[in-house]
Amino acid sequence: MLSKFFLDRPVLSWVIAIMIIAAGVLGIYFLPVSQYPNLAPPSIMVMAFYPGASAETVENSVTQIIEQKMTGLEDMIYMSATSDSAGTCMLELTFAPGTDPDVAWSKVQNKLQLAMAHLPEVVQRTGIEVGKATKNYLLAVGLISEDNSMSGIDIRDYLASNIDKVISRVPGVGETQVMGFEHAMRIWLNPDKLSNYHMKIEDVVMGLRAYNVEVSAGQFGGAPAVKG
């Protein structure tokens, strides 16, 4: 009955079909984004640095220890790790879809605290970075000094000290990275003087580490110092 009605009125049938198609096309543009399910599983990246160590040393003394502590982490699907000859350990932990990235980050931090005591001292001193993993960069910005008053190293230091932390606190930003060379001091040792003072290279390194610290001059609200 209904089919015969439209067969007898082909023009009306075409008009109704076109209206339905147009309504569907318009509906796509006005469809709320909240209707799309979040299928991408959240990932947390753990990065540690062991200066001067080979890839095998990093694997045995850093990577495996962190992996053991992360085993059995709630809502974690799998993890993958790499250790390279530059002394870098990178561990990526992927969680089940729908897991809150902030909650996953907190769980990884708690597990990592259990592994810190078993890591080499230099790794503990250098620190371990934990952040939300991103597959690629959304935006890359390059800065220059138009009047050449700042070198590339100065620009990087300014970004790291004043801009990087501000951008990291912007809602929705998962990770920021400042690229470029850092300030460094290169020291050449005199073998003859080392022999005269009966010193080894390790003694010089330990001395530099002891003096390469920032000590606060005091504190606000503290008790006054008593002479003697």
Count Cβ atoms below 10 Å from residue 214 Cβ, excluding itself: 4
**For each of the chain's 228 residues, which pLDDT tens digit applies?**
667 776 778 888 888 889 999 888 888 777 766 655 656 788 899 999 888 788 899 999 999 999 998 988 888 999 999 998 888 899 999 998 888 888 889 999 999 988 888 998 888 888 888 887 765 667 888 888 888 888 888 888 888 888 888 888 888 777 788 887 777 778 899 999 999 999 988 888 888 877 776 555 666 666 666 665
DSSP assignment of 76-111, as one string?
EEEEEEEE-TTSEEEEEEEE-TT--HHHHHHHHHHH
CA distance 152 to 155: 5
Place of tokens 């592994």: 115
The reported pTM is: 0.53
Q: Please provide the distance, in angstroms rounded to a whole number, between the alpha carbons at the two ends of the chain.
A: 109
Place of tokens 């620190």: 127
Sequence-distant (6+) residues with CB within 8 A of 75 are: 95, 96, 99, 104, 107
- Find out if CATH 3.20.20.140 is the number for domain 43-132: no
